[in-house]
Amino acid sequence: MTKQSGGSPAAESEQSSPVTGESTPTAPPDEAVAAVPPLAPGAPVLALLALGWLAAMLWSTREAINSAAAGVTAISLSAFALPGVISAALVAGAAFALFGVDLLARRGRDRVTLRFVAAVATGLLVGLAAAFAVNLTYADNATTNVIAGTTAAAAIIGGAVAGARTAPVVGAVVTAALGTLVFVVVFSRARDPLFDLFGSGDTQESLLNAAKWVSRTESLLAGLVAGLIAFGYLAWARRRSVRRDPTTPAPRWPAYLLAGAGPGLLLLLTEVILRTGGRKLLDLASALSEADAVAQTSLGTSRLDNAIWVLFVGALTAMIAFGRTLGPAPQDDEADATGD
């Protein structure tokens, strides 16, 4: 009489092949359930860097407002600095939320609803902390509540962005966006030499033409930085995933496209938040004088153009970098010749 193998642990982990009759190992059900989805590498460091950048933007805005001799100047400076604060809050909220949901994924709690709620809650904490810091350290004037409210809203929206299950892509977007913001600040030191290079003179026309070319150069380089950083981050995440699980599928081209375009999309989202939550401050700045109204309109157009350039150049750069990693298509000439 043969012994039944239904109760044997070995039999539970092996499956007989219908063709060869050989047994092949199969993963136990509990291991399949406990499989951890792809994570965003370096999430703790990224969260700290993003928080540091937000703190730097809030501090520099506070110093600029406090240095203003008159309230009118403070309103203009606040309107000028608010886009940088909003973009920093978006990145900080997304980075900290990404860190939080990655912790949940490592503990096996990666349900869609729980992940999204945790991401939004983490963004809310960052936003409330930033708003509290603004109300505590800024002068009590008409601009303080606007800055605090838009900063909190941006952090919450950034947290919601991190609720997506594609953690490596979100990490690439956040890293590339942070790198782009830092690049723009560093690039500002090269504006004066570039103005001279592009023929800035004493006439109004030469100044406008030079400013246009400086802005386009900045946007083009920022898009290149965004695309390269996004591609590099996804490549790094892919290597770490393969070391942990060699069967992890490689990201396809839409992941690189979205990661490269992500910083530009965040800049467009910054403009949406600015023109809704910060509308009161923009209106105050535009009402100061006719020159201020023209300046605010020009700055808004420039920010939109910059975001669109970063979006398309970043996406194209990431796609080109990804394409260069693809090998040639397999050639079937020898197989066809053998078959003939």
- The per-residue DSSP string of 269-327 comes to HHHHHHHHHTHHHHHHHHTS-HHHHHHHHHHHHHHHHHHHHHHHHHHHHHHHHHHTTPP
Separation CA 216–CA 156 (nearest Å)? 31
Contact 47, 96 (CB under 8 A): yes
Contact 267, 310 (CB under 8 A): yes
Look up residue 31 and give its two tokens: 């291991």
Contact 153, 275 (CB under 8 A): no
User: Which DSSP state fits 190?
Assistant: G
- What is the rounded average pLDDT of the residues 210-227? 89
Q: In the structure, how many helices (H) and strands (E) does the chain have?
A: 13, 2
* pLDDT above 70: residue 328: no
Separation CA 83–CA 326 (nearest Å)? 38
Separation CA 122–CA 101 (nearest Å)? 9
Look up residue 45 and give its two tokens: 């460091």
User: Which DSSP state fits 188?
Assistant: G
Q: In the structure, what pLDDT confidence band is assigned to residue 32 with cuts at 50, 70 and 90?
A: very low
| Digit-coded pLDDT (tens) for 269-325 | 999 999 998 888 888 888 888 888 888 888 888 899 999 999 999 999 999 998 887
pLDDT of residue 227: 95
* pLDDT above 80: residue 151: yes
User: Which DSSP state fits 165?
Assistant: S
* pLDDT above 70: residue 146: yes
3-state secondary structure of 4: coil
pLDDT of residue 237: 86
Residue-range domain boundaries for the chain: 37-322
Full-model pTM: 0.80
Separation CA 210–CA 229 (nearest Å)? 28
Contact 29, 64 (CB under 8 A): no
Separation CA 72–CA 45 (nearest Å)? 39
* pLDDT above 60: residue 36: no
pLDDT of residue 28: 44
Bridge partners (DSSP) of residue 24 are 15
Separation CA 113–CA 119 (nearest Å)? 10
Separation CA 179–CA 257 (nearest Å)? 17
